[in-house]
Amino acid sequence: MTNNSDADEAAGQSVPPLCSPRVVGVAAVALLVLLGGPLVSLLWPRSIPSTQDRTDVSASAAGWVDEQRCADCHEQSREFALTGHANTLRPADDPESLKLLRELAESPLGQSESVAVMMPDGQPVGVRNAGKIRHSIPLHWCVGSGQHARTWISTMPDALGSMDLLEFRWTWFHSIADFVATPGHPEAAGEGAIASLGLLFDGPRAWRCFSCHSSRLPVVDGVIDESGIHGGVTCQRCHGPRARHVATEGAYQDPAWILSDRDDSVARCAQCHRRADEQKPGTVRPDNPDIVRFQPIGLSQSKCYQQSQMSCTSCHDPHRPMASQNPRGIWQCVQCHDPAATDHTLCGAGMADNCLDCHMPAVETVPHLPFTDHWIRVRQESELAR
């Protein structure tokens, strides 16, 4: 995989590739013109991860081991390969990614819109036809497990030799099994070689994107080494580099791998799913639908969490696909609200099922993208209308 785009054609002449040194050299100045204003922030912005966070993500090559070795001894790692976490980042030329992009290329949207996709030699390329000029850029990565959505990105060097990221204009949504404009993008494609194909994010934002969608993210002199990225949140992202563990046939156990308490457990999930103390003051409130996307925030505000020892893993087995866990059942709730237990608090409305419909409904943070609200509570009428 390279960062070199195919040569474009305009009026019989070649247009320099979007990632050529000449284009990159003026990108910092041209960007404001192309996008028509300041850089657009990520849909779900957060602070830049700390050095400790980066150490967790950037497992050294020396400590890393082929994760097939995990499956040799740990049966749960075999089913884990089917989870959304394990599949949240893949090369754009992966078969599952290409299947969706072919659907886009053959759809009325892909054939009628000025921003489409082509696949010369099986390598996906985002294309914008503007009169006789064709802008194109290779799509390098497919982000998202497909359980909610999938978005494609292209990486390119910036003027300082670091990495910028272009988020492609079209996103595939599971809820409608179709493509629409990527959340946060304008309704109509912009003008120019970059703004017409998507939104450009700078190096720190590119790093944040990869850091939450990969297990190993090698960085050399401040630049991500894409050849060493291990896509998906897999065993060693949560359990630590395991080369020594494997070499000693399991005898070596790093104390850092052991969870200290349930807050530590939730904090590990919150590395990517966000913490309440990362949010702007005044934004963590029941009527703010934007925080629904960040499950640990809502969970930490819930009385169920504050008045018990529950954690993320009380309801979710991280080693199994969500579909195999009956995620919208009531077995999670009756652990603490069992009608057969005389000392349990029961539903004030007298209901014995459909708990999530009232207390943890799915909320669309943006169109076609529903997330279960983990702020467990009796919801107000104004909230139920969302």
pLDDT at 4 over 70: no
My answer on whether 163 and 285 are in the same domain is: no
Residue 52 domain-assigned (yes or no): yes
Q: Residue with structure tokens 């998202």?
A: 144
Output the pTM of the full model.
0.78
Q: Which two tokens stand for residue 208?
A: 């944040």
Helix (H, G, I), strand (E, B) or coil at 376: coil
My answer on whether 226 and 273 are in the same domain is: no
Confidence of residue 190 (pLDDT cuts 50, 70, 90): confident
Apex CA 264: angle with CA 260 and CA 267, to 5°?
Answer: 165
My answer on whether 216 and 290 are in the same domain is: no
Instruction: Give how many domains the chain has, as a whole number.
Output: 2
pLDDT at 175 over 90: yes
pLDDT of residue 152: 97
pLDDT at 257 over 50: yes
My answer on whether 222 and 293 are in the same domain is: no
My answer on whether 184 and 292 are in the same domain is: no
pLDDT at 274 over 60: yes
pLDDT of residue 365: 87
Q: Amino acid letter at 331?
A: W
Q: What span, in angstroms and rounded, lies between the C-alpha atoms of 268 and 111?
A: 43
My answer on whether 266 and 211 are in the same domain is: no
pLDDT of residue 172: 97
My answer on whether 156 and 274 are in the same domain is: no
Q: What span, in angstroms and rounded, lies between the C-alpha atoms of 35 and 28?
A: 11
Q: Which of 218-227, 239-248, 367-376 has the lowest mean pLDDT?
A: 218-227
My answer on whether 266 and 369 are in the same domain is: yes
My answer on whether 273 and 140 are in the same domain is: no
Residue 94 domain-assigned (yes or no): yes
Residue 244 domain-assigned (yes or no): no
My answer on whether 155 and 66 are in the same domain is: yes
My answer on whether 133 and 199 are in the same domain is: yes
pLDDT of residue 259: 79
Residue 32 domain-assigned (yes or no): yes
Residue 227 domain-assigned (yes or no): yes
Question: Once rounded to an integer, what is the mean pLDDT over residues 185-189?
Answer: 86
Identify the DSSP state of 337. Answer: -
Residue 254 domain-assigned (yes or no): no
Confidence of residue 22 (pLDDT cuts 50, 70, 90): very low
Alpha helix stretches (DSSP H) within the chain: 21-25, 27-35, 51-57, 68-73, 76-80, 95-106, 108-112, 203-211, 235-239, 243-247, 262-273, 295-301, 303-306, 355-359, 381-384
Residue 257 domain-assigned (yes or no): no
Q: Please indicate whether residue 52 or residue 90 has the higher confidence score (pLDDT).
A: 90
Q: Please indicate whether residue 34 or residue 312 has the higher confidence score (pLDDT).
A: 312
Residue 215 domain-assigned (yes or no): yes
Contacts of 158 (CB under 8 A, 6+ apart): 24, 27, 28, 164, 202, 203
Q: Residue with structure tokens 């919208």?
A: 328
Model pLDDT for residues 116-132, shown as the tens digit of each residue: 888 888 889 999 887 78
pLDDT at 33 over 50: no
Highest mean pLDDT among 151-160, 189-198, 251-260 belongs to 151-160
My answer on whether 319 and 225 are in the same domain is: no
Question: Once rounded to an integer, what is the mean pLDDT over residues 35-58?
Answer: 32
pLDDT of residue 346: 84
Q: Are 88 and 76 in contact (CB under 8 A)?
A: no
CA within 13 Å, CB half, 239:
18
Q: Please indicate whether residue 214 or residue 18 has the higher confidence score (pLDDT).
A: 214
Q: What percentage of the chain exceeds 90 in pLDDT?
A: 41
Confidence of residue 383 (pLDDT cuts 50, 70, 90): low
Residue after which a domain boundary falls, among 231, 246, 277: 231
pLDDT of residue 381: 63
Q: Are 115 and 104 in contact (CB under 8 A)?
A: no
Question: Once rounded to an integer, what is the mean pLDDT over residues 302-310?
Answer: 92
Q: Please indicate whether residue 46 or residue 299 has the higher confidence score (pLDDT).
A: 299
pLDDT of residue 54: 36
Range of the domain at 293: 262-384
Q: What span, in angstroms and rounded, lies between the C-alpha atoms of 207 and 217?
A: 9
